[in-house]
C-alpha cells in the first residue's frame, strides 16, 4: 500500500517535471520558432559568417589596404594620373549613356509586356533575359562581328569614316547590351501586379496619355525604376568582359576603370591598380546601401486596391 502510494507520488512528480519541461520547450519554440539544437544553430551561423568574411569582407579590406599601402598621398596621386582620370571619365560617360538608353528601353518593354496582350509576348520576355544568359565576352564578340573591319557593316562604316569599334560608341553599345535586362526586369513584375485599372481610371477622368503616364504610372513605379537604374549603373561601371573585347585598350582613350585596373595590375603598379579598384568597391558599397533603402520603399504600398 505504502509502496503504491510512493510509486504514484514519484510517478506524478516525474510526470509533472516532464510536463513542465515540455511546456518550457513549447514556449521556447513559440518564442523563436527555432527547434534546432543550439549547437546546430551556432555551427550554421559560424559557417555563414566565416564564408562571408573570407569571400566578401576580406577582399574588400585587401583592396583598401593595398590602395593605401603607400599612404594617402600615393593613393590620390594614382587617382590624379591622366590615364586614371580618363578611365573614370569614360566609365561615367558610358554608364550614363547605357543607363539612359536602358531606362527608355526598359520602360517601353515593361510597359508593353505588363499592359498589353500580344502574340510572342513570352518570347519577348525570354529575349529580354538573353544578355544575362550569354557570356559577356560573346556579347562583345557579336559587336566585333557586326562592326569590325571584316564585319557585316565594317566596310560601310569605314567608307563613311564612322568609328564604332575601339571607340566610345562600341563600348557604350556593348555595355548597353549587357545591362539591358536590369530596368525591364525590375519593372515587369511590378507593373504586372499593378495592372491597368489606375490608368483606366485616369483616362476616364479625362487625363491624356502623357498626363496618365506622368501623374499615375510613373509615380507608381518610381521606386522600381530607381532600383533598376541602380543595378544597371553598377553593372555598367563594372563591366569587364564585353568591354574588353570591343575597347581595343587604347591608353588614355578607350580604357574604362575595370580595364585600367587589369592593365595596371599586370604592370605591377599595385597602388594605382587598387586605388582605381577601391573606387569600384565604393560604388558597390553605395549601391548595396541604396538597394536596401529602395527595397524597403518597394515593399510599401503594394495591393492598395485589392482587398
**Which residue reads 486596391 in cell numbers?**
305
Cβ closest to other proteins, residue 101 vs residue 294: 294
The answer to the question of residue 298 lying near other proteins (CB under 8 A) is: no
The beta strand positions in 101-201, using DSSP E, are none
Radius of gyration of the CA atoms of the chain, in A: 29
The C-alpha cell at 103 is 531606362
The answer to the question of residue 155 lying near other proteins (CB under 8 A) is: no
CB of 232 to other proteins, least distance (A): 23
Spatial CB neighbours of 141, under 8 Å, sequence gap ≥ 6? 245
The answer to the question of residue 192 lying near other proteins (CB under 8 A) is: no
The answer to the question of residue 253 lying near other proteins (CB under 8 A) is: no
The answer to the question of residue 114 lying near other proteins (CB under 8 A) is: no
CB of 223 to other proteins, least distance (A): 10
Instruction: Single out the residue of 171, 216, 226, 279 in contact with other proteins (rule: CB under 8 A).
Output: 216
Cβ closest to other proteins, residue 82 vs residue 119: 119
Cβ-based neighbour number of residue 197 at 10 Å: 10
164, 170 contact by CB (below 8 A): yes
Instruction: Single out the residue of 3, 119, 206, 266 in contact with other proteins (rule: CB under 8 A).
Output: 206
Cβ closest to other proteins, residue 146 vs residue 207: 207
90, 174 contact by CB (below 8 A): no
Spatial CB neighbours of 56, under 8 Å, sequence gap ≥ 6? none
Cβ-based neighbour number of residue 284 at 10 Å: 14
The answer to the question of residue 307 lying near other proteins (CB under 8 A) is: yes
CB of 31 to other proteins, least distance (A): 31
Instruction: Please report, as ranges, the residues that interact with other proteins according to CB under 8 A.
Output: 197-198, 200-208, 211, 215-216, 219-220, 301, 304-307
Amino acid at each position: 500500500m505504502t509502496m503504491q502510494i510512493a510509486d504514484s507520488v514519484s510517478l506524478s512528480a516525474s510526470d509533472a517535471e516532464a510536463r513542465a519541461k515540455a511546456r518550457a520547450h513549447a514556449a521556447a519554440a513559440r518564442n523563436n520558432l527555432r527547434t534546432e539544437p543550439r549547437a546546430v544553430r551556432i555551427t550554421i551561423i559560424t559557417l555563414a559568417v566565416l564564408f562571408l568574411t573570407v569571400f566578401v569582407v576580406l577582399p574588400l579590406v585587401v583592396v583598401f589596404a593595398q590602395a593605401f599601402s603607400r599612404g594617402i598621398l600615393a593613393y590620390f596621386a594614382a587617382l590624379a594620373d591622366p590615364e586614371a582620370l580618363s578611365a573614370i571619365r569614360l566609365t561615367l560617360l558610358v554608364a550614363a549613356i547605357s543607363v539612359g538608353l536602358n531606362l527608355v528601353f526598359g520602360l517601353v518593354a515593361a510597359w508593353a509586356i505588363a499592359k498589353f496582350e500580344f502574340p510572342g509576348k513570352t518570347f519577348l520576355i525570354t529575349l529580354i533575359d538573353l544578355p544575362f544568359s550569354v557570356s559577356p565576352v560573346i556579347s562583345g564578340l557579336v559587336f566585333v562581328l557586326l562592326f569590325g573591319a571584316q564585319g557585316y557593316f565594317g566596310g560601310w562604316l569605314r567608307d563613311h569614316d564612322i568609328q564604332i569599334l575601339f571607340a566610345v560608341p562600341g563600348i557604350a553599345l556593348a555595355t548597353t547590351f549587357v545591362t539591358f535586362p536590369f530596368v525591364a526586369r525590375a519593372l515587369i513584375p511590378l507593373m504586372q501586379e499593378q495592372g491597368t485599372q489606375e490608368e483606366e481610371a485616369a483616362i476616364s477622368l479625362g487625363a491624356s496619355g502623357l498626363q496618365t503616364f506622368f501623374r499615375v504610372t510613373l509615380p507608381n513605379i518610381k521606386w522600381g525604376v530607381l532600383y533598376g537604374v541602380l543595378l544597371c549603373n553598377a553593372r555598367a561601371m563594372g563591366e569587364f568582359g564585353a568591354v574588353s573585347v570591343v575597347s581595343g585598350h587604347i591608353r588614355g582613350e578607350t580604357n574604362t576603370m575595370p580595364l585600367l585596373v587589369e592593365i595596371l595590375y599586370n604592370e605591377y603598379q599595385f597602388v594605382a591598380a587598387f586605388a582605381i579598384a577601391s573606387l569600384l568597391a565604393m560604388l558597390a558599397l553605395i549601391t548595396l546601401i541604396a538597394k536596401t533603402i529602395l527595397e524597403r520603399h518597394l515593399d510599401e504600398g503594394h495591393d492598395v486596391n485589392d482587398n
